[in-house]
Amino acid sequence: SGESVYDVAVIGAGVIGAAIARQLSSYKLQVVPLEKEADACFGVSKANSGIIHGGFHHGPDALKARLEILGNLMYDRLQKELGFPFRRCGILVAALNEEEMKAVGKLYENGVRNKIIGIELAGRERMLALEPHLNPDVVGGLYAPSGGVIEPYRFVFALIENAQDNGVELLTGFRVAEVRQAGGTFAIASADGRLVRARYAVNAAGLYADRVSALFGAEDFQIVPRKGEE
């Protein structure tokens, strides 16, 4: 057909899609992230709390915990390379009574089993020394010095801009509406009539990953969105 064929189309340019596009940009590949919003990071990544977790919510059996710990360790190098705002300020989990302290104890056990560096089960005095503005009723808590904070927008923009510097072309306003397979490539059509051909596709579509998966005839699953208020 004479149309150019990309090596990889990345569906979604949130934090996952942007990070994948950046990683792929270090190889001799033609990569195109397809983002349905007006810019990268405009999906769920924009509503992120910006917390770099300390690896104590789940035990080592959980894939989430293993990836959380690996990811946490990558931020120092990423920040050095990309220059986005990042600070290892540590995480405190405060307990206001003995019942809450039992729950904190379980989190501490997770952290120890996950081999988290510097994790600490703290008494009242230690907690108030770390954060004098805590409720004076605090009885103790957990301190994870490896936890931190980033600015989500700046992080995602830094990732995608670095990928673009390396020759990656970002297409925005591109909502994947139809996918056809032909001649070993995917023909990916947007809702507004654009067409991209790619040999491989990566599904990084966040809340819409289930719909994208269905369009590609891949895994069948359902995402149930919820607000992080529980």
For the annotated catalytic residues, the residue numbers are: 53
Residue pair 165/188 in contact by the 8 Å Cβ criterion? no
- Please list, in sequence order, all residues whose beta carbon lies within 8 angstroms of the beta carbon of residue 225, skipping any fewer than 6 positions away: 207
What distance in Å separates the CA atoms of residue 230 and residue 226, rounded to the nearest whole number?
A: 9
Q: Vertex 176, ends 174 and 178: CA angle to 5°?
A: 135
DSSP 193: S
The 8 Å CB, 24+ separation contacts for 69-77 are 69/114, 69/116, 72/146, 72/147, 72/148, 75/148, 75/150
